[in-house]
Structure 1
Amino acid sequence: MKQIKISLNELAHVLFLALITFVTGCQPAKEKLTMDNPLPVEFGDPYILKASDGMYYMVGTGGVKDGFKMYSSPDLKNWKDEGRIYQGNTDDSWNIANFWAPELYEKDGKFYLLFSADWRENPTNELENFRIGVAVADNPTGPYTDLMDRPIFDPGYPVIDGNLWFENDKVYLYYSRCCYKNPVESEVADWAREKGMFQEIEESWIYGVELQADFSGIIGEPKLLLRPPVKMDDQQAEWESRSVTSGEVNRRWTEGSFLLKNKDTYYIMYSANYFGGKNYAVGYATSDSPLGPFQKAANNPVLQKNVEQGGVVTGTGHNSVTLAPNGETLLCVYHGRTSKTGDERVVFIDPMEIDPNGKLIVHGPTTKEE
């Protein structure tokens, strides 16, 4: 990858930076890569680490109660169930429920599991009390134990979907503030009230902040990077507001961030709309700095349901990015649903690229039948 860096691990500094340095400007692969979508894995929020041993390790939401499980593969085709790798909700853990959105990183010979869960400390009995924590293991398949007896930090509101970016000696944390108790005034909120649909619209926003190198806390104050559009004539407003305008729910999400870099440009991919509904979709924004400001792309969304085009996939979102075994093709890893899988979220992997003009393109969703 000659000009791309992808924060998949601090291997993104070691192995992945080396690999990513080999991909030369995110050019598409010379031969078509086909995946047997959807994978037989019932995960939400899938994340795949290509580790220094050459293996792929996939984690995600679901599969076990109060914790996380893992699948491994040498080729992204054949997957082995590695079972539970992390047990939460123990007498000693800082977390008690709702274990979501794990990500896996390799750094200095150890493996780190970043994840969201409900914090045990909840004196005001909040219904949503999510924070982000880290667990560590000597081997990619674990078992993972909490690095600290607390979350990384407490911003004073619930947060989910942590993602890390390593650059030089710095580490950056990206996360989403939950919609919970965050009503926001906007033209979309005004429209929903006028229609008699919802009295208020809650929103989730994506923030970024520098992280201590040992993951023990943050440096400085978090910066707001992305939020839903305020104006209805904003070109992003239609696709980012579908959960509201369809009458599905009184929330607009900006979540599931993933950072990568092409040449001198930082790309942050994100998901909008209700993760449990058909309108979940992925967009991206760009910046010349890891902490913004970010400008949303004109070609958003880059991944969305395809039922209107005769396909069978809905609810596409919360993606990560990895490299194909050929060492060249970028792959978008995400969850979705099909007419066969029903309400269960399953994993998809599709090729993606950044074209010579800097436009990010995901070639999906695809299914095996197509």
Structure 2
Amino acid sequence: MIQEKKMAYTNPVEGITNIGDPFVLKDEDSDKYYMYATSAASIGFRVWESDNMVDWEEEGLAFDSTEQEKQWATGDFWAPEVIKHGDQYMMTYSARNKDGSLRIAVASSSDPLGPFTDMNADIIQEQGSYIDGHIFIDDGIPYLYYVKDCSENIIDGNHVSQIFVQEMTEDLTALKGDPQLLLQPDQEWEGLQDDYQWNEGPFVLKEEDKYYLMYSSNYFASADYAVGYAVADNPRGPFKKAEENPVLAKDLENGISGPGHNSVTIGPDGETLYAVYHTHTYPEAPSGDRRMSIDKLHFEDGKLIIEGPSYKEQKISLGRE
């Protein structure tokens, strides 16, 4: 008799703390999971490995800026993401350059554990600060979604973070064409009354010919940091934000503060989608010290639904046996 095998877990997963912006790659070659995060912000990024998305083992530095031939960045290594492309693993990340601006780089490795080596240390040629690079490939065409950071982007006297998209070259090491503005703060929950406003952390999913652009808004060290999404018929937009935003938000009564900057991966059963996100380690004193949580994600009548943020025991399907 074939039975579904399940495993229990409770958020935050594995007790990993002092991280942010968790990105989980399911590697089809090894059938393992790899988690990259803002985690060693002065020099690079650590990586964790798992067989089941619940039990994680730290495996050291995946990217070490001190080992690069050209050490272009001075710190603030943020938001790494990794995808498999051909026989290489490609990492996007942001860091601060010697001029004080945040820039997006692309690095590669033949192993998901690294070491990753810079291929292009400044993929966006426009001036300003840019963060949160996310690669999405649709019908063979690669796109980079990224954020023009509010630190240097001033609109009508306010510091505003905006999400753009631009096509990439086939080898994922450069951009081509013109950038297309997709999202900027315009819903009330996104802090429109504040001098600093954010739409950041883009992540794209495709479901039944619709494109779902997930993003985070509000200050990362605020309990109000939360996740919303927008929908389009084309990866270049135009995207329309969901009226029910945010779809992942604080639950201070149960110790959940600032859930955000998510990625999405497929569970061990090969079917179930999971949103991977961070929350504040100390809800009473939100900061850059964050921890990882995972919750199921599904689509219903064209809407994206995250079954969280959960704090009670959950079951993760490991497949059938």
Aligned runs of 1:126-205 on 2, under 5 Å?
127=100, 129-148=101-120, 150-185=121-156, 200-205=157-162
Cα distance in structure 2, aligned partners of 1:313 and 1:160: 25
For the pair 1:49 / 2:20, whether they are aligned, the reply is: no
For 1:100, the equivalent position in structure 2 comes to 78
Runs of 4+ aligned structure 1 residues displaced above 3 Å come to 30-35, 338-343
Partner of residue 210 from structure 1, selected from 157, 162, 167: 167
Match of 2:63 in 1: 86
Conserved? CA contact 1:35–1:350, under 8 Å: no
- Name the TM-score, length of structure 1 as normaliser: 0.78
Q: Distance in 2 between matches of 1:368 and 1:180?
A: 37
Q: Aligned partners of 2:78 and 2:230: how far apart in 1? A: 24
1:131-153 per-residue CA deviation (whole Å, 9 max, x = no partner) reads: 111111111111111113x3112
Residue 9 of structure 2 aligns to a residue whose secondary structure is coil
The answer for the alignment partner of 1:319 in structure 2 is 262
Among residues 240, 259, 270, which one is paired with 2:204 in the alignment?
259
8 A Cα contact 2:41 2:75, kept in partner: no
Of the candidates 303, 309, 315, which is equivalent to residue 365 of structure 1? 309
Aligned equivalent of 1:335, options 260, 265, 278: 278
**Pairwise mapping of residues 12-31 of structure 1 onto structure 2 (< 5 A)?**
none
Distance 1:311 1:51 in 2: 33
AA aligned opposite 1:205: Q
Measure the CA separation in 2 of the matches of 1:75 and 1:111: 20
**Unmatched tracts of structure 2, length 5 or more:** 315-321
Aligned-pair identity (%): 39
Q: Is the alpha carbon distance of 1:171 and 1:103 closer, same or farther for their aligned partners in structure 2, counting shifts above 3 Å?
A: same
Confirm or deny: 8 A CA contact 1:70 1:82 kept in the other structure. yes
Give the TM-score, by structure 2 length.
Answer: 0.89
In the alignment, the residues of structure 2 paired with residue 218 and residue 361 of structure 1 have an alpha-carbon distance, to the nearest angstrom, of 32
Q: Give 1:47's aligned amino acid.
A: F
Partner of 1:301: 246
Whether the 8 Å CA contact 2:164–2:183 is kept in 1: the answer is: yes
Equivalent pair of 2:264/2:275 in contact (CA under 8 Å): yes
What is the CA-CA distance between 1:340 and the residue it aligns to?
6.8
Q: SS at 1:303's partner residue? A: coil
3-state SS of paired residue (2:60): strand
Unaligned runs of 5+ in 1: 1-29, 186-199, 230-235, 245-249
Distance 2:246 2:7 in 1: 22
| Paired position in structure 1 for 2:94 | 116
Q: Relative to 1, partners in 2 of residues 1:276 and 1:167: Cα closer, same or farther, differing over 3 Å?
A: same
Note the aligned Cα RMSD (angstroms). Answer: 2.1
Q: Distance in 2 between matches of 1:61 and 1:368?
A: 26
Question: What is the CA distance between 1:117 and its match in structure 2?
Answer: 0.7
Which residue is equivalent to 1:223? 180
Counterparts in 2 of 1:44 and 1:242: CA distance versus 1, 3 Å = farther
- Measured after TM superposition, the shift of residue 92 of structure 1 is 1.8
1:86–1:145: 8 Å Cα contact kept in structure 2? yes
Q: Is the 8 A contact 2:41 2:76 kept in 1?
A: no
Distance of 1:213 and 1:95 partners within structure 2: 26
Indicate conservation of the 8 Å contact 2:63/2:114, yes or no: yes
| Contact 1:313–1:339 (CA under 8 A) maintained in structure 2 | no
| Other-structure match for 1:241 | 191
Quick one: structure 1 residues 64 and 300, their matched pair in 2 at CA, closer, same or farther if it must change by over 3 Å?
A: closer
